[in-house]
Amino acid sequence: MIPARRPLLLSALALAVAGLAAPARAQVKWDLPAAYPATNFHSVNLQAFADDVDKATGGKLKITVHANASLFKAPEIKRAVQGGQAQIGEVLISNFANEWAPFGADALPFLADSYDESVKLWKVQKPLFEKKLGEQGLMPLYAVPWPPQGVFSKKALASGADMKGIKFRAYNPATSRLAELLGAQPVTVQAAEVSQAFATGVTDSMISSGSTGADAKLHEHVKHWYDTQAWLPKNLVLVNKAAFAALDKPTQDAVLKAAAAAEERGLAASKKANGESLDKLRAGGMQILPPPAALSADLKKAGEVMLKEWLDKAGADGKALVDAYRR
């Protein structure tokens, strides 16, 4: 049925009023899927970022953080943001090295293996990433490194040879390849399921941070952590470009400002989490050990193979990146 005629002037007036009122009142809601527990320093930092944006925009942009892979699993988050199922998300960028090799640069053993080097690597990665992600309808907002990666193992390790045949949990293509080169059996398990994987014997070892070990209460299942400081993989917060473009300018500025603050705060939080989580694991009965020389040497050898393979795959982009990083 056709609705009763309304005086034309009145509906025009109603439209004009709605149009004027909309920008002031409209609230935009964004979902932010993330893959790590709500108490992890990355997630705490995401929440602080969302709170900063809320405050700076007077509640106009509300970002809801969905921690612990509750909305999407870690490897699905990038595609979800690309496809607009989520407007913003946090990814472990090296998870996507098979898509484009430079995404994996921060998971190459011993290329950038300290906080300072990790920051330096990000500086040269960022412009390249902006271009590549831009082509995919995405925009990087900020990056935060995980603490240095060390080897968790149920059995004591003296060298790479001790890892032959043992089950080794992987979290990205680089950790799978490292396992293969060491003769271990890679099994991919996302962080949210690490505790269960060790408890049920799905895996006996992995390389990761003390932070993820403490999140998973790994001291209950594993007695050794070797402080190999092999690399510091980064979490990257990505936004859907169209969703960002739809914001008004002051809101966009608030997001960028909060992102810059989150990058700085996240770096400090990572350093703090590194010490605290190792203390927690130690208190729980795990031995926090310097790596035996032979284990370090074997990891370095594997790292050299991986860098060569990566340079082959990454082509001109990879060479430019490594050259700029080493300059």
Q: Quick check: 212 binds ligand PCA (CB under 6 A)?
A: yes
Q: How far is the CB of 94 from ligand PCA (least distance, A)?
A: 8
Give the x-and-dash track for 74-103 against ligand PCA (CB under 6 A): ------------------x-----------
Residues 6+ apart with CB under 8 A from 108: 174, 231, 303, 306, 307, 310
Residues 6+ apart with CB under 8 A from 196: 202
Residue with smaller CB distance to ligand PCA, 160 or 210: 210
Buried b (16+ CB within 10 A) or exposed e, 274-290: beebbebbeeeebeebe
Residue with smaller CB distance to ligand PCA, 202 or 256: 202
Residues 11-40 that bind ligand PCA (CB under 6 A): none
Sign of the Cα pseudo-torsion (82, 83, 88, 94, in order): negative
Residues 188-207 that bind ligand PCA (CB under 6 A): 191
Choosing from 153, 205, 209, 296, the residue that interacts with ligand PCA (CB under 6 A) is: 209
Q: Quick check: 171 binds ligand PCA (CB under 6 A)?
A: yes
Integer angstrom CA distances of residue 60 from 19, 57, 231, 250, 283: 17, 5, 39, 10, 44
Choosing from 89, 109, 233, 303, the residue that interacts with ligand PCA (CB under 6 A) is: 233
Give the x-and-dash track for 115-154 against ligand PCA (CB under 6 A): -------------------------------x--------
Helix spans in the chain (H): 8-25, 41-56, 77-82, 115-135, 173-182, 194-199, 210-215, 241-245, 249-283, 293-326
Q: How far is the CB of 161 from ligand PCA (least distance, A)?
A: 24
Give how many residues touch ligand PCA by CB under 6 A.
9
Residues 6+ apart with CB under 8 A from 102: 125, 128, 129, 132, 314, 317, 318, 321
Binding segment (CB under 6 A) for ligand PCA, from list 111-119, 209-217, 271-279, 301-309 = 209-217
Contact footprint for ligand PCA (CB under 6 A)? 92, 146, 171, 191, 208-209, 211-212, 233
